[in-house]
Chains A and B, each alone.
Chain A
């Protein structure tokens, strides 16, 4: 069984930052492997360790800079990686779900995985929709927000728990092949070992353009345009306790005593 995991390098934002146009100024940005994708990757690697999967391939839509993050995923146990980028994508402010799906669909057509795992959402644009849209595009089954997974490869069924709101989980059987979007907490993502990091340097990381995948610029034309970005207005008039830690702790303690909730 082959498992394809979508892996995104997301931007992380400093506590203090400035906005330039419709972007956060580069000076205040870092980069990291999307948290939800880490759990998806770990789940896939565990499937190989359990003898259920034979190969874990990651796919990333991102520029060459993202390779450092992709190597992290390889160091954590993925067997090889695919990175898709193109000049046509470089100018897009916000790559929408349709564009991402078109690219991933082309990769799935080449790789023919039995199972695709995605993170539930990304920490930057948070659409939370790529996995389900991809499945619908491919005409295969899916489940969103999966926090427990048991695979019966012979029967071709994935038994999943979907994490609903309010501490309730839904138990669902999904026919394979399928796309599952993975929620945090499903497992404990491993740290990359030194050996893993060394091995990752030798693993295949294939760069592909849209043309390599048989796609044209129009296939990834954005239907959504980012036109404004600003810091949200604060709605409350929060009282800030000023001073050093013993001052602020004293003021907070007084408040709590006044409210009669602490002695």
Chain B
């Protein structure tokens, strides 16, 4: 019997979607290990969150009322104390920016193995079998984790379906003793990335450019295509990192989530963070020389060819 403790993610007064995905992943893992699924929700309006998280398959929700927003010191202390009290085998956290800001510290403090960015789980006795990707999604791997003394696992967002239905979980306030002297970081505010004049989330057709464009001067070619088609220009992260396009053009986990009718990915390999921002597009077209690029897994149409040959030919079609 191995119980699971899954930690919900929230920001600025709202539970994030991954919290419901954690319920599904947590239930799956608890079933495999023959245990119960406990949730922890820390900081913010925890009572309200707990009601929302009480979905099918949840055995208990533990609320830790402390401050409004995420603070990794508070999370690390609260989770460690919850683990001492509940003795779950597995601690499950989202592989989100905040999850990655506390899960490694929790694993260190509990002296448990850590496996991050997991996309599949199985349990065989005392061994956790986790599925992970390597090399930017080019390969998938199975990793065995000696979980006799438990393990800390972070799960990739959008890999499990969000849990639905209403559960009959016990909702219990957990009185964590937070050592304020050990809280060494303070959140002082939030800032939205500059908006600019174009909102790519509104576009019906996006021509999106990635690392394959190689040089800033080559961007002109893709701009010309977007103009010829009456489409809006967007990009993957490296183009914004390089300063070739402003942040408001970035599609992805840390940029905008877009759902256009047509998304044309030009020279984009399809890193998971990018895919998270565009997989809801109605029709996805990929132009890329690499037939094994992860973008091909979600594309509806593909051209396996050099973008420097295809894009000029395409411009000609629309002129």
Contacts and interface: CB of A to CB of B under 8 A. Distances in A.
A262 B129 CA distance: 48
B283 A245 contact: no
Contact of B310 (A135, A145, A229, A245): A245
Interface residues of B, number: 98
Interface in B262-294: 262, 283, 285-286, 289-294
A141 B137 CA distance: 31
Interface residue tally of chain A, by bracket?
35 or more
Contacts of B134: 124-126, 229
A173 B105 contact: no
A172 interface: yes
Contact of B243 (A128, A162, A170, A188): A188
Given A125-B134, A238-B299, A232 B140 contact: yes
A164 interface: yes
A143 interface: yes
Contacts of A206: none
B159 interface: no
Given A141-B184, A262-B229, A123 B136 contact: yes
B52 interface: no
Contacts of B117: 126-128
B222 to A, nearest CB: 14
Contact of B297 (A184, A236, A245): A236
A185 B240 contact: yes
A173 B303 CA distance: 47
Interface of A: 11, 13, 15-17, 19, 22, 24, 94, 96-98, 101, 123-133, 135-137, 141-145, 159, 161-175, 184-185, 188, 223-232, 234-236, 238-241, 244-246, 248-250, 252-253, 255-256, 259, 261-263
Listed from nearest, the 6 A-B pairs whose CB atoms lie closest are: A249-B313, A136-B105, A253-B317, A185-B241, A223-B113, A245-B309
Given A145-B101, A226-B142, A249-B317, 5 more contacts: A125-B134, A128-B100, A172-B187, A175-B184, A184-B237
